[in-house]
Amino acid sequence: MNAPDPFEAEEPASGEDEAAYEVPPAMAAATVMRLLSLHGDDRAQRLAAFHRQLSQRIASLDRGERADPAIVRQRIREKSHPREGPGA
């Protein structure tokens, strides 16, 4: 019994349909590279900001600075509450 191969690509119904979905490899590669570049820049900026903040916190600990636990808990509590909209 010959069963159809589920991994076999279906053929387009006509030549027009095939042309509508064809993307030149160079264009596809350029699009991928552009998207990777955009996302990579964003990620690099977030990572740099994280490292700056981490360095500042470590430096403050090295200087012997400590945070008041009550203030820190209050700040966390405020951030954890859902933001209410103007109509709420």
Q: Is the pLDDT of residue 88 over 60?
A: no
pLDDT at site 74? 93
Question: In whole angstroms, how far apart are CA 68 and each of 28, 30, 73, 80, 81?
Answer: 54, 52, 9, 19, 21
Question: What confidence category does residue 54 fall into, taking pLDDT thresholds of 50, 70 and 90?
Answer: very high
